Amino acid sequence: MKKTLSLVAIFAAGTSQAAGFQINTQSARSTGMGNAAVAWLDDSSAIYSNAANILGDKKLDVTVGDTGILPNLKFTRTGGTEEGQKTTLSPPPHLFVTYKVMDSLAVGVGVYTPFGARSRWVDDFSGRFRARESAMAVYNINPTVAYQVHERLKLGAGINIGRGTLELKRALDFVESEGNVHLGGAAWGVGFNAGVQAELVPKLLSAGAHYRSAMDLTFKGHADFQNVPAEFQTRTSDTRVQGDVTLPQSLAVGIAFTPIERLKLAFDANLVDWSDFQQLAIEFPDNPALNNPLPKRWRATWNFHLGAEYGVTDALSVRAGFVADPTPSPRETLTPDLPDSDRIAVTGGVGYAFGALRADAAYQFVSLSDKQSDAPGATGTYGGQAHVFGLTLGYSM
């Protein structure tokens, strides 16, 4: 099952914060600027955005927060009526801590959720035989170190330890009745990240790049079949399930410009390599007859982020941003088990400092443009919107 993003992918059905099922809102300050952060953001949340930037001007920095993702995904089957999802709020949290051992060396650790999604389709959803309810999350533990090799150049690197969990409920069609299957599993994986940041023109122009490796996970769990007619029970008894997952590698590059003392402008371009996701498959080791891989053929995509931050006073800052994030899914393989669409987002935020303490809040409106599906047996149009709310509290000294 190399080249297969299998078991976990089903559980990503629904609207995550970014295309595919990536979540990049790991800092309310960054979210308010459209997540354009790779060249400049130097608080502890830089563990996610660019490991080199944890070498900020503070001895100790701690950030903790949460993000509320409220999706509203719609599907209109060809010749049918619009169908939607039940209201579901996903709250991926984040925690980062960094410490400067010396002026040129900093260490830190982050705990956050870089991938995940959650959805619950309405009870009579026409695609309930593919997915009725789903929940998926990958929790990342990310020890990080950064070193200043030159007064204008910083390098950073980290280890990513991922814990993935997933759950799926799906209806089963027995012609004269309906049953249900409840699947669940978990896995561990390891990857790495590395970044660089350079001050091209001191106090005016900086640039950065940050790479995250792919991460292989092997999910193992169980399938619980319910309301199965007697004549089908020998073929659909409770059993083990498993699947190999490759979370995508990514590369972010960005620049930051400070034209005047209180104004910062930033632009990031991110490449997310979804091309390992060529099919969607669940393996049943004890009952291979249930295996039914589906082609997906996702492709690598670029997404783009533009942001601005203005310091109204020494304590108060306001932010705004824009995001363009195309879907990696082609039309011919787009189905209800893993819906997606091109996304445009506008963001805003505010931050306030109280001495050593600070608070940042952000809002992001995500518009999912209508995406036509030509998949056999599941033709229709996907679209909708999502609201994203972020709050991060910080302490530094």
What is the CATH classification number for the domain harbouring 52? Answer: 2.40.160.60
| 362 domain-assigned | yes
| 2 domain-assigned | no
pLDDT of residue 283: 81
CA torsion sign, 34 to 37 to 40 to 46? positive
Structure tokens given for 246:
């490759």
Q: How far apart are CA 117 and CA 22, in angstroms?
A: 8
Residue that the structure tokens 């991926």 belong to: 92
In the chain, what are the helix, strand and coil shares in percent, each to the nearest 5? 5, 60, 35
Direct distance between the N- and C-terminal alpha carbons of the chain, in angstroms, rounded to an integer: 49
How far from the centroid of its chain's Cα atoms is residue 36's Cα? Answer: 15
pLDDT of residue 278: 72
| 27 domain-assigned | yes
pLDDT of residue 296: 78
pLDDT of residue 356: 95
Q: How far apart are CA 197 and CA 191, in angstroms?
A: 21
CA dihedral 26, 350, 39, 139 (to 10 degrees): 0
For residue 13, the tally of other CB atoms under 10 A from its CB is 31
* pTM reported for the whole predicted model: 0.88
| 291 domain-assigned | yes
CB 141 within 8 A of CB 191: no
> pLDDT in tens for each of the 397 residues of the chain?
333 333 433 334 445 566 667 888 999 999 999 999 999 999 999 999 999 999 998 999 999 999 998 888 888 888 788 887 777 777 889 999 999 999 999 999 999 999 887 777 788 887 787 777 777 789 999 999 999 999 999 999 999 999 998 888 888 888 888 888 888 889 999 999 999 999 999 999 999 999 999 998 888 888 888 888 888 887 778 888 887 778 899 999 999 999 999 999 999 999 999 887 776 667 888 888 777 777 778 889 999 999 999 999 999 999 999 999 998 888 887 776 667 788 999 999 999 999 999 999 999 999 988 888 877 777 888 888 889 999 999 999 9
pLDDT of residue 366: 93
Q: How far apart are CA 98 and CA 48, in angstroms?
A: 12
b/e map 274-303, b = 16+ CB within 10 Å: bbbbbbbbbbbeebeebeeebebebeebeb
Q: How far apart are CA 284 and CA 286, in angstroms?
A: 6
| 1 domain-assigned | no
Domain span at residue 310 reads 7-396
pLDDT of residue 280: 66
Helix (H, G, I), strand (E, B) or coil at 231: helix
Residue type, 183: L
Helix (H, G, I), strand (E, B) or coil at 28: helix
Structure tokens given for 141:
């533990």
| 47 domain-assigned | yes
> 327 in the Ramachandran plot: left (φ > 0), alpha (ψ -120 to 50) or beta?
beta
| 107 domain-assigned | yes
Residue 147: phi, psi to the nearest 5?
-140, 135
Please give the full DSSP string across 30-96, using - where no structure is assigned: HHHTTT--TTT--STTHHHH-GGGG--S-SEEEEEEEEEEEEEEEEEETTS-EEEB----B--EEEE
Domains held by the chain: number: 1
pLDDT of residue 18: 66
pLDDT tens, residue by residue, 23-82: 889 999 999 999 999 999 999 999 999 999 999 989 999 999 999 988 888 888 887 888
